Structure 1
Amino acid sequence: MKTSIVRMLCIAAIIAMLAACAGNEKPPAGTPKTYVLVHGAWQASYVWDSVQADLVKSGNKVIVVKLPGHGTDSTAVYQLSLDVYRDKVIDAIAQADSNVILVGHSMGGMVISGVAEKIPHKIGKLVYIGAFLPATGQALTDLAYSDSASRLGPLLIPSANQLTLDVKHDSLTYLFINDGTPAIKSLLLANYRAEPAIPFTSKVTLTKANFGSVNKVYIKTLQDIVISPAMQNRMIAAAGIDKVYTINTSHSPFLAQPHAVADLLIKAAQ
């Protein structure tokens, strides 16, 4: 009899322990998302490598866009425009089997805004990371010239034919990844090339019915000296975005703190 009672008490204790463990389990992860990542000016698709790895490890799908005129692409710069970039992203989204989380950094914010205007039904959410966020009729130059706190302008070097913009090479890491490790700074320098200039002056046309219908999130880069936090605040307010995250990095958070960026993108997608 005593043996039976002890056995029953042991079983009850085990059941209680299992219930307690079950109560401490983390809730299941959300439905996997498809992220489309668009890099900014003077950079290329390599900047997303670590973020992509983290997102995939979390069960998501990732499409990294390689914009023409960047990285190893040899498209002639006179053929490039914001619409060319936009159409490249639209082609990439066509590969997805569901709505996407469309992410743009810096100049990429101009690109994803144009994409949202064209195919709003394919986009679950727009995420801007330290990015230009235009109103209709604006070009990147309109926004950049109004950012008095940016350190970029005086360090630009236009080519003789005005088709590309270079940045003073001794200022590259200072501008884009001042908080990066020596290895990350070397990576940026090794992949640097002058930026096509024509897309900077391309104006966007955005409507409430299309662009305005897509949910938007902004991730502010608090140490940014390319697009200042003050400028980011003005664009966020003008666009009426109320879901805002912050990351305490320079202009390139995906290089400085890639794991934190991946975590924020997962949160932003919820």
Structure 2
Amino acid sequence: MKKTISSLLAAVFAISTFASCHKNEDKPDPKTYVLVHGAWQAPYVWDAVRNDLLKEGNKVIVVELPGHGTDKTPTYTLSLDVYRDKVIQAIAAVNENVILVGHSMGGMVITAVAEKVPAKISKLVYIGAFLPTTGQALVDLSMSDPGSKLGNSLVQSADKLTLDVKADSLTYLFINDGTPAVKQQAIDNYRAEPAIPFTNKVTLTNEGFGTVKKVYIKTLQDIVISPGLQDRMIAAAGITTIYTVNTSHSPFLSQPHEVSKLLLNIAK
């Protein structure tokens, strides 16, 4: 009888150990995501995605770019390098490598970051984002996009330091597929966009930016950065890992849980 009981206990222990190991294998190790917002937006846009990623045990850093959100850095001092350095500072506080995510203008920023600290980045993720080649600025890419409807809605300030989006075009351009509540949130958090960083060109090398794995999430209903331009940028960068979301320019607002699922999958 004692031998039988011992055998049963051993079997139960073996089964529970196997189940525990199997469960651990199914759930990936926690990752650190660094999320970078785009133009005319701020950290709030990532709230729902951030919560989803945290619930799965990950770490999340949401960067507030200078001149956005509540940041009061003088507009005339801003540049793409200033944005870059803010993100590098956030990454430097993390011991492990990060998954660096950028949306729209944030794609320019994460590209510049990857050139400087490629060894700190496990993957670059572009979500409906500008993805330059060396020598290009955001304005160069934007002007090459006949499918974009943004240009006619821009108003430059008298000092040429900021760009506004016409009030009646803001939600139509950026989140036409969002709920009324989300659209109102975009209106409530709106600020004019610093203009100088749009003209700053990137310098990229094979030894820096070229060494980092890249993923692109296309926004199929986008009228700010058209799917056509997205395809051209993806091809120029040689990206082969591509996902899609059937949304407007701001999928983290209109379909945040879909974005979260993709980011979790990309981390595997």
Give the TM-score, by structure 2 length.
Answer: 0.92
- Give the whole-Å Cα distance in 2 for the aligned partners of 1:150 and 1:268: 28
Partner of residue 164, structure 1: 162
Aligned pairs, how many? 256
What aligned pairs does 1:77-226 form with structure 2 within 5 A after superposition?
Answer: 77-226=75-224
Partner of residue 34, structure 1: 32
- Give the whole-Å Cα distance in 1 for the aligned partners of 2:167 and 2:137: 25
- Give the whole-Å Cα distance in 1 for the aligned partners of 2:174 and 2:147: 15
- Give the whole-Å Cα distance in 2 for the aligned partners of 1:32 and 1:132: 28
Structure 1 residue 28, shift from structure 2 partner:
2.0
1:126-168 CA distance string (max 9 Å, x none):
0000000000000000000000000000100000111000000
**Over alpha carbons, which structure has the higher Rg?**
1
- Give the whole-Å Cα distance in 2 for the aligned partners of 1:266 and 1:200: 30
- Give the whole-Å Cα distance in 2 for the aligned partners of 1:222 and 1:58: 27
Partner of residue 236, structure 1: 234
1:168-213 CA distance string (max 9 Å, x none):
0011000000000000000000000100000000000000111000
The AA in structure 2 aligned to 1:46 is Y
- Give the whole-Å Cα distance in 2 for the aligned partners of 1:250 and 1:96: 32
Partner of residue 53, structure 1: 51
- Give the whole-Å Cα distance in 2 for the aligned partners of 1:55 and 1:260: 12
What aligned pairs does 1:65-84 form with structure 2 within 5 A after superposition?
Answer: 65-84=63-82
The AA in structure 1 aligned to 2:106 is G
1:204-247 CA distance string (max 9 Å, x none):
00001110000000000000000000100000000000000000
Q: In structure 1, which of residues 229, 246, 249 is the aligned counterpart of residue 247 of structure 2?
A: 249
Q: Secondary structure at the match of 1:169?
A: coil
- Give the whole-Å Cα distance in 2 for the aligned partners of 1:212 and 1:57: 32
CA RMSD for the aligned pairs?
A: 1.9
The AA in structure 2 aligned to 1:169 is A
Percent identity (aligned): 71
- Give the whole-Å Cα distance in 1 for the aligned partners of 2:62 and 2:70: 15
* Unpaired stretches in structure 2, ≥5 consecutive residues: 1-7
The AA in structure 2 aligned to 1:256 is S
1:25-75 CA distance string (max 9 Å, x none):
875211110000000000000000110000000010000000000011111
- Give the whole-Å Cα distance in 2 for the aligned partners of 1:155 and 1:91: 34
**After TM superposition, which residue ranges in structure 1, 4 or more long, deviate above 6 angstroms?**
none
1:82-103 CA distance string (max 9 Å, x none):
0000000000001112000000
The AA in structure 2 aligned to 1:128 is Y
- Give the whole-Å Cα distance in 2 for the aligned partners of 1:119 and 1:94: 9
